[in-house]
Amino acid sequence: MNAGPVVIVGGGLAGASAAEALRDRGYDGEVILLGVERHLPYERPPLSKSVLLGDKEVGSAYVHDQTWWRDHDIDVRTGVEVHSVDLAGRRVVTSAGEQPYEWLVLATGSEPRHLRLADEADAPVHYLRTVEDSLALKDSLTDGAKVAIVGAGWIGLEVASAARAAKAHVTVYETADLPLLAVLGPEVAQHFADLHTAHDVDLRLGAAVSSEDLSDADVVVVGIGAAPRTELAEAAGLAVDDGVLVDELLRTSDDRVLAIGDIANQQHPVLGRRVRVEHWDNAIGQGKAAAATITGAAEPYAKVPYFFTDQYDFGMEYFGHTGPAGYDRVQTRGDFNGPFRAWWIRDDVVVAAMQANDWDASDETRAIVGQAPPPD
C-alpha cells in the first residue's frame, strides 16, 4: 500500500500507536512523527506510578527504542514544534520548515491546568506531565518532607501514594466532599478516602486551599485536571468544542485530518454521544483506529473508555462511562481491600464497571458494560 506522507503531530502514545499501526497494516508511504519534546515517544502513566516511585527507569516508559523506529522506517523528529496547519495546501509549518502531507493526524495531547495560587506560592510547585516533571518531583519526595497536593483526582492520589512510600508527610486539598467523587460517586469514592487516611494522608475535603496552607509546605503538587491542546486545530479552522470534534472514524471537519488521544471529542458509536477520554488505553486504541481509517478499513472506534490506577498495594481497572445522565444505583461485591467489584447501573444496564485487586476479572468486567447487571 503506497500513498503520500502521513504526518503525525504529537510524540506521545497516541501518535506512536498510529505510526506503528500504519506499518502493521502495510502502509509503506512516508510516516513522519513530529514531537515537541526531545524524547522518543513514551507512555505517561509510569510518570505518576513506577518511575515516580523509583521502581523503574525512564527508559522503561519509551514505546520503542531508536532502532525499532529506524527498522520500521518511521521518521521520528523530536524537538520540532508545529506552528500552523494549512488545510488547503495540505502542509504543516514547523520550527524545522514546511512539511506536506496526504493525511494529517493530530495527537497534541493535553496540558495540566494551572492554579495561580500555587504558582505564586513560596514552595516549589510541580505539575506532572513530562519526564522532566516526574524526575524533578521524585527528587522532592524525601523522608520527612511536607508535601501539599491540590486536587484528589487520579494524579493527586497516585502522587500521594508515592510520597507516602518515600515517608513524606502528605496533605491533600480537595474542594469536593470526597476524592474522585465526580467519577465514582459517593458509594465507591468513600473507599478511596479510607484507603488514603489508612496510610496517614491528611485529607482536607470540601475545603479550598489557601496561600497560607501552601506556604507551610516544602513541596506543592497541583493535580486539578488537564486541558486539551487544541490551539493548532482551532487556528487551522477545524471544529473544536471541548476538544477537536471527530466522527466515529476519528475524522475531523476536514476529511484528510484525524484527531486522536486526549484532544479527540469523538461521536462514540456505543455510548451514543460525544466523549473525550484522557487515558492510556484510549491513546493506543484511537491510534490504531486512525491507521485503519487512513488505510481504508473504515473501522469505527467503539471501545468503551478504560483507565487504571495503582495506589499503595491497591490496583483497579474501570471500564465504561456514566456520562452526564449519571446512574441509578451502584452494586458492589467483595471487600475493597481484597478482590472487589462495582457496577454503575442505569435503567437496568451496566454503564460502568470496576474491578479491584482481581486482575483475572479484567475481561469479564469490560464485557459486562452495556449488559444487564449481575445477580445481587
- The CATH number linked to 38 is 3.50.50.60
In a domain, 74, yes or no: yes
Tell me what percent of the residues of the chain surpass a pLDDT of 90.
Answer: 86
In a domain, 301, yes or no: no
Rounded mean pLDDT of the chain? 94
Cβ density class 85-121: b for 16+ within 10 Å, e for less: beeeebbbebeeeebebebbbbbbbbebeebebbeeb
Q: Report the chain's terminal Cα–Cα distance, integer Å.
A: 52
What are the cell numbers at 40?
522518543
Q: Which of 222, 243, 269 is the last residue of a domain?
A: 222
Element holding 347 (H helix, E strand): none
In a domain, 375, yes or no: no
pLDDT value, residue 181: 92
Confidence tier at 304 by pLDDT (50, 70, 90): confident
In a domain, 299, yes or no: no
Confidence tier at 2 by pLDDT (50, 70, 90): low
The answer, yes or no, to whether residue 285 has pLDDT greater than 90, is yes
Contact 37, 61 (CB under 8 A): no
Q: Are residues 101 and 118 located together in one domain of the fold?
A: no
What are the cell numbers at 26?
502495510
Contact 293, 249 (CB under 8 A): yes
Confidence tier at 83 by pLDDT (50, 70, 90): very high
Confidence tier at 360 by pLDDT (50, 70, 90): confident
The answer, yes or no, to whether residue 1 has pLDDT greater than 60, is no
d(CA 289, CA 293): 6
In a domain, 304, yes or no: no
In a domain, 104, yes or no: yes
Domain of residue 208 covers 114-222
Mean pLDDT of 116-123: 88
The answer, yes or no, to whether residue 65 has pLDDT greater than 80, is yes
Q: Using CB atoms within 10 A of its CB, is residue 72 exposed (0-12), middle (13-18) or buried (19+)?
A: middle
d(CA 150, CA 173): 5
Q: Are residues 170 and 210 located together in one domain of the fold?
A: yes
Mean pLDDT of 105-125: 93
Q: Which of 168, 190, 222 is the last residue of a domain?
A: 222
pLDDT value, residue 324: 85
In a domain, 327, yes or no: yes
Cα of 241 vs its chain's centroid, Å: 18
Q: Are residues 279 and 340 located together in one domain of the fold?
A: no
d(CA 282, CA 228): 14
Tell me what percent of the residues of the chain surpass a pLDDT of 70.
Answer: 99
The string of pLDDT tens digits covering residues 21-59 is 999 999 999 999 999 999 999 999 999 999 999 899 999
Q: Are residues 54 and 18 located together in one domain of the fold?
A: yes
In a domain, 146, yes or no: yes
Q: Are residues 254 and 325 located together in one domain of the fold?
A: no
Q: Are residues 190 and 232 located together in one domain of the fold?
A: no
d(CA 312, CA 298): 42
**Torsions phi, psi of 223, nearest 5?**
-135, 75
Mean pLDDT of 341-352: 94
Structural domains counted in the chain: 3
The answer, yes or no, to whether residue 6 has pLDDT greater than 60, is yes
Alpha helices, H only, 130-243? 131-140, 154-165, 181-198, 211-215, 231-236
Q: How far is CA 18 from CA 99, 223, 295, in A?
A: 18, 28, 11
pLDDT value, residue 336: 85
Q: Are residues 69 and 10 located together in one domain of the fold?
A: yes
